[in-house]
Structure 1
Amino acid sequence: MSISSPQARVTRSAHRPGGQGGLTPAPRSRALAAAGLAAIGPATWGTTYVTTTELLPPDRPLLAAALRALPAGLILLALTRRLPSGDWWWKAGVLGMLNFGAFFPLLFFGAYHLPGGVASTVSAVMPLLVAGFGVGVLKVRPTRRTLAAGLVGVVGVGLLVLRGSASVDLAGIVAMLAATTLMALAVVLSKRWGRPEGVSLLALTGWQLTPGGLVLAPIALTFEGLPDHFTGANLAGYAYLGIIGTAIAYALWFRGIERLPASSVSFLGLTNPVVATLAGLLLLGQTLTLWQVGGLVLVLASVFVGQGRRTARKHS
């Protein structure tokens, strides 16, 4: 009986099914827990439409974007007392613009120019965009399973939220597609750059929210200004979007990006239109048709398939 060396055992383990470059997949339960926490982010974003229409002042999308980003960012910076260093100054700026400074205005523009169903359907292409960006940035080729699940997700969201009378505004479509593209690129770059050692997720989130909010604030004040007064409902809506829907939701989203493959995280974004539809069902008295139920099943199946077993590579 021969005794193999530790190096030989490691070499053989790298070629076992599921192994890749000496890395083994995380336990399934841990991956599912990470996915569940990350899904809280887009699930929370699914309540944005109801919050905006029911609690916020009308016709001020830029102000909503600024007040959603800047106060949350400043609060996180004050709590963590940590600023970027080295190349993370520009990395945080890039991610802040992709996730907030540019994404939020495009998102609200699309939401104001499109029915919610059309906007959600456009945003459902994010898993396919992440797969495309992953080829160039992460050097990861999407599997047929990922591409098929992405297409199923788009069809499911379409059935879930579209109506036969839905109107299409070209400017709104372009804005939503641009916003979704920016967010997909942010997911891939976040996966590529990781997180600085010793820096908390809350600090990293604050680094991105603050520059995005600083860009948005003067634009909002210039083009929209402040309402004559803020009601209690307005303040509650802004507080909910800033604290729950942004600071906490994005911290959990970034945690998912850190711990899961980029493609897996992108599929979790499909929970956004699901929650938006259910919120309308519960809070606005809307009803579900048989086609919408079928779409809901397809979306959930797409999210489940998108969380299939994968081995993540490390990227420098």
Structure 2
Amino acid sequence: MLSNRLVTALAPAIWGTTYFVTTEYLPPDRPLLASLIRSLPAGLLLVAVTRRLPAGDWWWRSLVLGALNIGAFLPLLFLAAYRLPGGVAATVGAVQPLIVAGLAAGLLGQRMTLRVALAAIAGVAGVSLLVLRANAQLDWLGVAAALGGAAVMAAGTVLGKRWRSPAPLLASTGWQLVAGGLLLLPVTLLVEGAPPALTATNVAGYAYLTTIGAALSYSLWFRGIGLLPATEVTFLGLLSPIVATAVGWLLLGQDLTVAQAIGAVIVLAALVVAQRQGGKTDADHRVRSGGRRRQPGGGRSRATRA
């Protein structure tokens, strides 16, 4: 349904505001601390509200998904951001829809169509126009980190679709955020050391990242993974650089060039083309792919791709 896509799209739109919040509200040079505070307190809050802990296989599944979506993804993302100009990192990361389509073919029985492949390539081209600068230079460690970040997030998206949690959405979201945050905790202390003294502005920025940038946005994202085909969800992630560029233009006075405007149009067109499966429901995708649904807690989930 269109409403499910629009609700899911709110998550990458929120993530697109992260750059503005980070530069304007947070202490400098503390990306891992921002990732830790964004994930662990949000996860603990959701677990406390739902009062639900994992059971059975979901102890290790939550750890795997939390590592992929948060604990491994965020350090790789920030390593790429430090080693590469932001435009290069975003452009490399835009290959994620292609990776998801490939993984979905192997794990979910979803056939990769020419339409999806072309839309994914167009998405990379559009993001490059939107954020890439002519003087950008490559650092191969940074490129590897950006590709690694796209790969682990893609794996988390596909496995999140394959493993359907029997718990309420907020509870399973909290499990992943706690797992990812606990993995980030020693890395943050080792790399960045103890947190600095925080101002009221810093606290406000971290509060936004914890409540809106993590608890709300990840709940919406994981909801979308459960309701929509994985490729459709991952294409919605291309909204992040569009929102980041728009926020920079509106709130930071950054220039908006014709090339960036064209890039935004290309990205939006790729996103629309990738969503053209229209009103097909999750059951429609399951029937087409031949997947079966087991009882909650089982190893297989609905194979719901087209």
TM-score computed with the length of structure 1 as normaliser: 0.87
Residue type matched to 2:46 in 1? L
Alignment map for 1:1-316 (pairs within 5 Å): 31-196=1-166, 199-309=167-277, 311-313=284-286, 314=291, 316=300
Q: 8 Å contact 1:61–1:109 — kept in the other structure?
A: no
What are the superposed Cα offsets for residues 176-209 of structure 1, whole Å, 9 maximum, x if unpaired? 110110000111001111121xx21110100101
Determine helix, strand or coil for the equivalent of 1:98: helix
Return the offset for 1:112. 2.1
Counterpart-to-counterpart distance in 1, 2:85 and 2:71: 23
**Contact 1:113–1:171, Cα closer than 8 Å, also in 2:** yes
Aligned-partner Cα distance in 2 for 1:228–1:74 = 22
Shift of 1:264: 0.6
Greater C-alpha Rg: 1
Q: Tell me, yes or no, if the aligned pair for 2:63 and 2:180 is still in contact at 8 Å.
A: yes
Where structure 2 has 5 or more consecutive residues not aligned to the other structure, the ranges are 293-299, 301-306
Measured after TM superposition, the shift of residue 227 of structure 1 is 3.8
Query: In structure 1, what is the Cα distance between the partners aligned to 2:146 and 2:27?
Result: 22
What is the DSSP-based 3-state SS (H/G/I as helix, E as strand, rest coil) of the residue aligned with 1:134?
A: helix
Q: How many residues align?
A: 284
Specify the code of the residue in structure 2 equivalent to 1:291. A
Q: CA deviation at 1:254?
A: 0.6
Alpha-carbon distance between aligned partners in 1 of 2:54 and 2:103, rounded to the nearest angstrom: 26
Distance 1:218 1:239 in 2: 21
Q: State the superposition RMSD in angstroms.
A: 1.2
> Is the 8 Å Cα contact of residues 33 and 195 (structure 2) preserved in structure 1?
no
| Whole-angstrom CA distance in 2 between matches of 1:249 and 1:45 | 8
Partners of 1:260 and 1:312 within 8 A in 2: no
In structure 1, C-alpha distance between the alignment counterparts of 2:44 and 2:29, rounded to whole Å: 25
State which drifts further: 100-109 or 218-227: 218-227
Runs of 4+ in structure 1 displaced over 6 angstroms? none
Structure-1 separation of matches of 2:222 and 2:235: 14
Corresponding letter in the other structure for 1:98: L
Q: Is the CA contact 1:127–1:267 (under 8 Å) kept in the aligned structure 2? A: yes
Per-residue CA deviations over 1:203-222 (Å, capped at 9, x if unaligned) read: 01001010111111122123
Distance 2:141 2:17 in 1: 24
After TM superposition, the score normalised by the length of structure 2 is: 0.90
2:297 is matched with none
Report the Cα offset of residue 272 of structure 1: 0.7
- The answer on whether the counterparts of 2:77 and 2:146 sit within 8 Å (CA) in structure 1 is yes
1: CA distance, partners of 2:80 / 2:20? 16
Verify the 8 A CA contact 1:70 1:210 in the aligned structure 2: yes
In 2, are the aligned partners of 1:152 and 1:299 still within 8 Å (CA)? yes
> 1:18-75, CA deviations, whole angstroms, 9 ceiling, x for partnerless residues?
xxxxxxxxxxxxx110010111111111111111111111112221111111101101
Once the two structures are aligned, what percentage of the paired residues are identical? 56
Tell me: CA distance 1:246–1:228, structure 2 relative to 1, closer, same or farther (3 Å): closer
Q: Given residue 83 of structure 2, which amino acid in structure 1 is its aligned partner?
A: H
CA contact (8 A) 2:39 2:181 kept: yes
- For the residue of structure 2 that corresponds to 1:312, the secondary structure is helix
